[in-house]
């Protein structure tokens, strides 16, 4: 640790100490050492406190040498960083308020000077500021992974689901180690693939997959007929699945799936209007119901005919209900079968 900090701390009396001032909160004349910030502010502090809190200072101050109270130990950090460090390690001092833009530098300085108590306290400060919405999820995740705050990393990873990872800038990426970024990327990818697979229609009333009976208005009916089951493989349902997947690529939280705007898209109209009724004439194509304008080609209707979707059957086919389908997809999305954190 001493080698790591050799460029950051200078004990030479040859440093220019003109025009320096003591910080008003750390100017005790009984203190036995002086440290000086990189921007020229001096702090009179007690060596015992520094040795108890910092492995670096414990090693340095324990060495035999000519350390005089009036010869400052010059540190590279700015005064505002040192104030936070001292505020955490000094007894009977309330926890300092850390501006979000200083959080990374404070934690880095604590790590540089082997201040284990500060790192531990920072985990609580970061978690509190994150929960209060004062720290972003990417910064919080980066800090938590760097210093081993597992619970904080888990909570932050969940919040990153509202962020498209491809939009991160170089400064954000530089703070995340490769392993931690891979874990985060895997979480986002796994969520969209899991939901896509779970949207394969199921016809049991209880299932971890999307249940057909929960996607229609009338749940009081008997056996699900073959023509209804085939709608789970219809082009329009597949289109819905693919559209959900694309939304999850953008935001892995699926936040846009909570908005009616997504479900009201014109291309899904055939799903919500494909009611069939018994007319005694066997199977006929209802082109309006299947959304010909949305699909655009007669070949698409050939696929629909073969799948049984959009046909007037001799039974009682029930249409998908937009709101019921939305609720059912969100149920699956929010289930334990779709991971929500690293």
Q: Does 194 share its domain with 92?
A: no
Using alpha carbons, select from 100, 110, 198 the residue that is nearest to residue 146.
110
Q: Does 90 share its domain with 215?
A: no
Structure tokens at 239: 């289109």
Q: Which of 76, 96, 116 is the last residue of a domain?
A: 96
Using alpha carbons, select from 87, 97, 103, 185 the residue that is nearest to residue 140.
103
Residue 65 Cα distances to 2, 50, 209, 229, 235, angstroms: 15, 17, 71, 85, 81
In the block, tokens 């990873």 appear at 157
Q: Does 328 share its domain with 196?
A: yes
Residue 342 domain flag: no
Residue 105 domain flag: no
Q: Which of 62, 96, 130 is the last residue of a domain?
A: 96
Residues 191, 338 contacting (CB under 8 angstroms): yes
Please, which contacts does 14-20 make with residues 24 or more away whose CB atoms are closer than 8 Å? 15/72, 15/74, 17/42, 17/72, 20/72
Q: Does 81 share its domain with 195?
A: no
Residue 15 domain flag: yes
**Domain interval for residue 7:** 1-96
Provide the residue-wise pLDDT of the chain in tens; the chain has 342 residues.
Answer: 444 454 555 544 334 445 567 899 999 999 999 999 999 999 999 999 999 999 999 999 987 765 655 689 999 999 999 999 999 999 988 888 999 999 999 999 999 999 999 999 999 999 999 999 999 999 999 999 999 999 999 999 999 999 999 999 999 999 999 999 999 999 999 999 999 999 999 988 889 999 999 998 776 656 777 777 787 888 999 999 999 999 999 999 999 999 999 999 999 999 998 544 333 333 333 444 444 434 444 444 444 444 444 444 545 567 899 999 999 999 999 999 999 999
Using alpha carbons, select from 292, 286, 305 the residue that is nearest to residue 266.
292
Using alpha carbons, select from 160, 125, 122 the residue that is nearest to residue 139.
160
pTM of the model: 0.81
Residue 137 Cα distances to 3, 142, 189, 250, angstroms: 33, 8, 18, 17
- Domain count within the chain: 2
**What values do phi and psi take at 336, rounded to 5?**
-70, -10
Altogether, the residues listed in the chain come to a count of 342
Residues 43, 78 contacting (CB under 8 angstroms): no
CA angle 186, 156, 133 (to 5 degrees): 145
Gap between the Cα atoms of 70 and 35, Å rounded? 10
Q: Which of 61, 81, 96 is the last residue of a domain?
A: 96
């Amino acid at each position: 640790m001493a080698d790591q900090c050799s460029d950051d701390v200078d004990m030479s009396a040859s440093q220019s100490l003109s025009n320096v001032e003591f910080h008003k909160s750390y100017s005790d004349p009984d203190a036995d050492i002086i440290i000086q910030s990189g921007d020229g502010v001096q702090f009179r502090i007690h060596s015992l406190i520094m040795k108890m809190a910092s492995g670096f200072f414990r090693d340095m101050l324990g060495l035999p040498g000519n350390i005089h109270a009036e010869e400052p130990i010059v540190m590279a950090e700015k005064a505002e960083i040192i104030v936070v460090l001292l505020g955490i390690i000094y007894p009977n001092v309330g926890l300092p308020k850390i501006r979000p833009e200083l959080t990374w530098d404070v934690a880095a300085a604590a790590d540089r000077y082997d201040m284990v108590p500060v790192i531990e306290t920072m985990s609580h400060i970061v978690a509190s500021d994150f929960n209060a919405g004062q720290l972003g999820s990417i910064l919080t995740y980066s800090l938590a992974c760097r210093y081993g705050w597992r619970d904080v990393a888990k909570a932050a990873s969940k919040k990153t689901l509202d962020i498209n990872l491809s939009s991160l800038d170089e400064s954000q990426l530089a703070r995340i180690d490769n392993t931690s970024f891979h874990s985060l990327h895997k979480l986002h990818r796994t969520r969209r693939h899991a939901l896509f697979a779970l949207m394969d229609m199921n016809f049991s009333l209880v299932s971890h997959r999307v249940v057909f009976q929960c996607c229609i208005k009338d749940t009081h009916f008997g056996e699900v007929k073959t023509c209804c089951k085939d709608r789970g493989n219809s082009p329009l349902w597949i289109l819905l699945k693919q559209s959900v997947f694309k939304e999850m690529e953008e935001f892995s939280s699926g936040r846009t799936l909570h908005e009616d705007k997504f479900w009201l898209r014109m291309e899904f109209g055939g799903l919500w209007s494909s009611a069939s009724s018994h007319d005694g004439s066997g199977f006929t194509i209802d082109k309006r119901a299947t959304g010909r304008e949305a699909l655009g080609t007669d070949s698409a209707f050939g696929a629909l005919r073969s799948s049984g979707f959009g046909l007037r059957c001799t039974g009682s086919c029930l249409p998908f209900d937009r709101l019921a389908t939305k609720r059912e997809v969100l149920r699956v999305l929010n289930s334990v079968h779709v991971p929500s954190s690293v």
